[in-house]
Structure 1
């Protein structure tokens, strides 16, 4: 099994290590050097041995290229990142969920394997498994293994309810992700179970966090602030500290990506995210999202005019930048806005709010609020 990955990425060349965030940027000449000997029994070049010691405290002396380094080939497409919504189904029923429906459906295993090959061949180096809840998909274990062994660096975005299972922990120990992000919906069973609308959800997630910590997995907690847990903000931060996890905080609840308003009822007053001014996004150009049926879109929210990868193959991705650019135009309810230069919301998300007929103060966050 490879210990290092040499890969093109957005016009540059990287050496990465599965399960690690640190890496090395290298010139084309060194990438071509390792590519030329990748399948041989040659030893690793001295610069790569020294780089591995510096970046990861890893001693690879005496090992061969064939057994140690996976070289990802160059591709005509510049997509370095993708998210894969392996299944929209979920074992929670969260009030704030942005998915319009949570159906257990998607491609059979043969289709999933073909889709993952397409992602690999599109140049995807960083892949996020998401859902729904990815760990409940019947093919998750095989899909994760396939992606990891194809030379992708993986993040799992999960509700944590299946993270305690021995087979999951064993897989992630053997083939480590670079991050496991667990959504935290409260610091007590009352708040957590109320939002997820599943009794016992909090206890399941605590078991998962404990198992992940014991296994040494790279944990991050996404703290989701809602009307159910706004009084527990400090306690939620303490949960992250207790499990030794990094944390990010989210206070803005969005409508469903199809523009229906139901999730907005979970918004806690005073908890809109204080994001920066929106200055563009690489979605659709260097990054894309793919749903359970293999439909590729610019991101999880901007799902207009999807590209059917299963029918069109990689050629379909050539159309995606133009589709993304069209969705970024300030039209409809944002057309003619005199404060668009200080807007903090991307156009696809603003459109979802507008279609949901959401009050302006739930999403319009200009730098000058009074204006």
Structure 2
């Protein structure tokens, strides 16, 4: 069997559903031009030849056992034994999308409402509003129909939305690898711990705002923020859930960076660090006031690879709008969380509306406004929608441009 590692962060043990029976042990799915097998919470996966994927589809429909070649691969990659189990119970085998347009990744801002009030938040306004539950479930079905496989649920704070459990279950049933971005304040609640044990996510990413209650509560402007986050992380790790901490570095907590790293180490969870703050996606400069000196690293604005569409330059390398998109609380689809021009109203237009999204994304990647006429176009790797909100916020050039203070021609 031809196998290969799929690059995903984190590696944790698999939880099972009530009664000891796992909902499914792994997911098999098309992903753009590939066929892959992955396991929530694990960094390793398998790349499958088309014939092997077709065999799993057939066995899934017929209720036949997992084939020996997959049993061997699962044992090597995830140290689990699927021998004798049926494909339709051990695996979630996703059929190829028949939609006119397909995407492999999406993020969903289930609600902008939040129980924290962080100064550095990129959401200028955080109203608690959005789709009714039937439309939220319809939205998840549409995402599955266009092939979304890697799925991030964010907010606001997603875990305070009363519809979160139903939305999460629908996405899990569809065989999505789910990542949740949360402040962790609700993560210790028994019904959520049970939900994630019964239907394991791929990753739960919790923001860490300080190493002490005083610092975290001051940064989030919320009493009890640190205590609730800490309790949530401890409950999740005790339940064997795949938790990752993101250390958020601002001027309010920069003196506790080492202490935050030590706290993450004591909780025995993987970490990332985020110290480059941006304006709100509407261009309001407020969050920039929380920027910590010494952590201004504009490299996070850069695209991963050079583009190939002439005058548009390297900006065209970004896959947003082409293989990936974002959906806001009202079902408006945009190229990403930042580039929100000309949204596609999925609830009104359906998935056919996504046929327009690549062109909308390309238009937002063009050099306009403060970047018009720049003589350094051919080497620029800065994300254009992010550069635009920095320009609208009247931020210093060095805070978002890879060329520092050099003046465009």
TM-score by length of 2: 0.87
Aligned length: 370
Sort the Cα spacing of 1:294 and 1:185 in 2 relative to 1 into closer, same or farther, 3 A. Answer: same
Q: Does residue 27 in structure 1 map to residue 64 in structure 2?
A: no
Taking the aligned partners of 2:384 and 2:104, their CA distance within structure 1 comes to 23
- Which residue in 2 is equivalent to 1:292? 329
Deviation, 1:73, is 1.4
Deviation, 1:274, is 5.4
Deviation, 1:273, is 2.3
- Which residue in 2 is equivalent to 1:79? 103
Q: Contact conserved, 1:88 with 1:132, CA < 8 A, in 2?
A: yes
Taking the aligned partners of 1:309 and 1:180, their CA distance within structure 2 comes to 27
Taking the aligned partners of 1:41 and 1:258, their CA distance within structure 2 comes to 51
Deviation string 1:308-362 (CA, Å, 9 cap, x unpaired) is 1111111111111111111111111012223344545310011111111222233
Matches within 5 A, 1:142-157: 142-157=166-181
| The one of 131, 134, 140 aligned to 2:164 | 140
| The one of 52, 66, 69 aligned to 2:88 | 66
Matches within 5 A, 1:28-177: 28-75=50-97, 76=99, 77-177=101-201
Taking the aligned partners of 2:372 and 2:110, their CA distance within structure 1 comes to 35
Tell me the C-alpha RMSD between the 2 structures. 1.6
Taking the aligned partners of 1:41 and 1:12, their CA distance within structure 2 comes to 24
- Which residue in 1 is equivalent to 2:9? none
| The one of 225, 232, 237 aligned to 1:208 | 232
Deviation, 1:370, is 6.7
Taking the aligned partners of 2:255 and 2:383, their CA distance within structure 1 comes to 29
Taking the aligned partners of 2:65 and 2:27, their CA distance within structure 1 comes to 16
Deviation string 1:197-255 (CA, Å, 9 cap, x unpaired) is 11111111111111112112111111111110111111111121111111111111111
Taking the aligned partners of 1:369 and 1:234, their CA distance within structure 2 comes to 31
Deviation, 1:270, is 1.9
Deviation string 1:115-165 (CA, Å, 9 cap, x unpaired) is 000011110111111000000001001111111111111111000100111
Q: Does residue 329 in structure 1 map to residue 353 in structure 2?
A: no
Deviation, 1:4, is 2.4
Taking the aligned partners of 2:78 and 2:214, their CA distance within structure 1 comes to 42
Q: Contact conserved, 1:298 with 1:324, CA < 8 A, in 2?
A: yes
Q: Contact conserved, 2:298 with 2:401, CA < 8 A, in 1?
A: no
TM-score by length of 1: 0.96
Deviation string 1:29-72 (CA, Å, 9 cap, x unpaired) is 11111112212221111111111111111111111122222221
Taking the aligned partners of 2:43 and 2:105, their CA distance within structure 1 comes to 14
Taking the aligned partners of 1:194 and 1:153, their CA distance within structure 2 comes to 34
Deviation string 1:92-113 (CA, Å, 9 cap, x unpaired) is 0000110121011011110010
- Which residue in 2 is equivalent to 1:192? 216
Give 5+ residue unaligned stretches, structure 1.
none
Taking the aligned partners of 2:293 and 2:28, their CA distance within structure 1 comes to 47
- Which residue in 1 is equivalent to 2:249? 225
Taking the aligned partners of 2:261 and 2:34, their CA distance within structure 1 comes to 37
Taking the aligned partners of 2:380 and 2:260, their CA distance within structure 1 comes to 30
Taking the aligned partners of 2:397 and 2:158, their CA distance within structure 1 comes to 33
Give 5+ residue unaligned stretches, structure 2.
1-22, 306-316
Matches within 5 A, 1:203-352: 203-273=227-297, 275=299, 277-278=302-303, 279=305, 280-343=317-380, 345-352=382-389
Taking the aligned partners of 2:387 and 2:122, their CA distance within structure 1 comes to 14
- Which residue in 1 is equivalent to 2:37? 15
